[in-house]
């Protein structure tokens, strides 16, 4: 890819406007971020990599070379990178844009607070006036993992004591001690970490008896928050963290999905519209709850929404009432919804609603179909 420089047209333009070349350069990934981090003074390669979310050394080297070639930074003999006079002038020119960005962020925060209050009022109104019966309750949650080799994953979880309760060509449900995990087979999917948290009893027995020999794992270790933990990673890089609060015979108690997001604030805003409350937040980690379930979030800014494989399945009651509630939320806050929610009937005997949050998390609400309700497929 040719470098954007003054006097030369950039791709897609026949004229050689200098501002177009500058905007083309600054629009390339990480370029503006590197310049911004150098505003405080010279910096070495490792320090720059740490500030830029541990980006790959090869990519950082490429971007630094581009900035040196275009005259915005200089590499000193001592190994530090610093802004040239032209680079410093650029950041000074961008100062009004930074002031505008702060004002914009404040405005959006006020807007989101107003929207949350309006959504809360709308939910309260619906619960009082709904003719669909009892308001929906969130009963349980099941993480879903995307795996490249479904059969390999089922074999791995079979060694952990899970039983397969449903299996078709590309999807499987496994169960142990009343908890479910869902597996989707996508041979061409990128290898990204999926994570879930499983509460167990007698973690030492579990550690000695069950972990497969081909699993990457840590030894059980007491944590500062009062639980003993160890983790397993299956051959498809899905990670399970098991935690034990007691010394009873080994039993799997419940699961908590861990969602990976590139914008923690936007996901928390979205889940707040669904009635979740933030119970804990620290740095790039957050815990939210509603009714009987808990969901964890971790912040990974480099994963775009279209590549996010985070999925959870939430079992609810009165799913039709929840569907109407979601449609009302969407009417108030359409910008939070990536696509139109749908209510469908599945071959494994559940009605389901599929939602995608702004960071690409797929949320699948599910309710078993009763014998008196044959169900009907809806959408919109």
Tell me the fold of 1-107. Answer: Arc Repressor Mutant, subunit A (1.10.10)
CATH number of 138-368: 3.10.180.10
Average pLDDT over all residues of the chain? 79
Q: Residues near 305 by Cβ (< 8 Å), separated by ≥ 6?
A: 262, 338, 358, 359, 360
| Per-residue pLDDT at 277 | 92
pLDDT for residue 317 is more than 70: yes
Nearest to 38 by CA among 4, 75, 2: 75
Q: Hunting for tokens 């925060």 — which residue is that?
A: 109
How long is the chain?
380
Lowest-confidence region among 106-120, 121-135, 176-190, 314-328: 121-135
Q: Model-level pTM?
A: 0.54
d(CA 37, CA 27): 16
Of the pLDDT bands very low, low, confident and very high (cuts 50, 70, 90), residue 244 is low
Q: Residues near 146 by Cβ (< 8 Å), separated by ≥ 6?
A: 184, 186, 189, 192, 194, 309, 311
For residue 311, what are its two tokens? 């999925």
Question: In the chain, which residue ranges form alpha helices assigned H by DSSP?
Answer: 18-26, 31-37, 45-51, 57-69, 85-129, 150-159, 203-209, 264-273, 319-332
> Do the domains 1-107 and 138-368 sit in the same CATH topology, yes or no?
no
d(CA 129, CA 132): 9
Best-predicted range by mean pLDDT (19-33, 56-70, 151-165, 226-240): 56-70
d(CA 171, CA 168): 5
| Per-residue pLDDT at 111 | 81
| Per-residue pLDDT at 371 | 33
Ranges of each domain in the chain? 1-107, 138-368
Q: pLDDT, tens digit, for every residue of 74-118? A: 998 888 999 999 999 999 998 898 889 888 888 888 887 777 776
Lowest-confidence region among 122-126, 170-174, 184-188, 372-376: 372-376
Q: Hunting for tokens 């503006």 — which residue is that?
A: 32
Lowest-confidence region among 12-16, 125-129, 205-209, 348-352: 125-129
């Amino acid at each position: 890819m040719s470098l954007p420089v003054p006097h030369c047209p950039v791709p897609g333009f026949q004229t050689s406007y200098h501002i177009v070349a500058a905007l083309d350069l600054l629009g390339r990934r990480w370029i503006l971020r590197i310049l911004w981090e150098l505003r405080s003074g010279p910096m070495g390669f490792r320090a720059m990599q740490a500030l830029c979310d541990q980006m790959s050394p090869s990519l950082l080297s490429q971007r630094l070379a581009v900035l040196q070639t275009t005259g915005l930074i200089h590499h000193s003999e001592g190994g530090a990178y610093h802004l040239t006079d032209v680079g410093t002038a650029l950041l000074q020119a961008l100062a009004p844009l930074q002031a505008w960005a702060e004002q914009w962020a404040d405005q959006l925060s006020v807007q989101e607070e107003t929207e949350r209050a309006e959504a809360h009022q709308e939910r309260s109104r619906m619960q009082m006036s709904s003719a669909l019966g009892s308001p929906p309750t969130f009963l349980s949650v099941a993480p879903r993992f995307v795996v490249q080799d479904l059969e390999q994953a089922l074999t791995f979880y079979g060694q952990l004591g899970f039983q397969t309760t449903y299996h078709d060509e590309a999807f499987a449900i496994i169960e142990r001690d009343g908890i479910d995990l869902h597996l989707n087979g996508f041979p061409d999917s990128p290898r990204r970490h999926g994570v879930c948290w499983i509460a167990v009893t007698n973690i030492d027995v579990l550690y000695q008896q069950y972990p497969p020999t081909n699993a990457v794992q840590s030894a059980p270790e007491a944590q500062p928050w009062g639980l003993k933990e160890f983790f397993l990673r299956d051959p498809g890089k899905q990670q399970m963290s098991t935690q034990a609060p007691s010394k009873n015979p080994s039993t799997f108690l419940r699961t908590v999905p861990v969602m990976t997001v590139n914008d923690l604030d936007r996901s928390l805003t979205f889940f707040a519209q669904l009635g979740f409350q933030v119970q804990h937040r620290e740095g790039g980690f957050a815990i939210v709850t509603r009714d009987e379930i808990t969901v964890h979030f971790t912040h990974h800014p480099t994963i775009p929404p279209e590549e996010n494989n985070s999925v959870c399945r939430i079992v609810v009651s009165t799913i039709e009432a929840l569907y109407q509630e979601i449609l009302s939320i969407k009417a108030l806050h359409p910008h939070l919804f990536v696509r139109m929610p749908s209510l469908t009937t599945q071959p494994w005997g559940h009605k389901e609603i599929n939602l995608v949050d702004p960071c690409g998390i797929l949320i699948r609400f599910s309710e078993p179909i009763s014998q008196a309700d044959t169900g009907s497929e809806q959408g919109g």
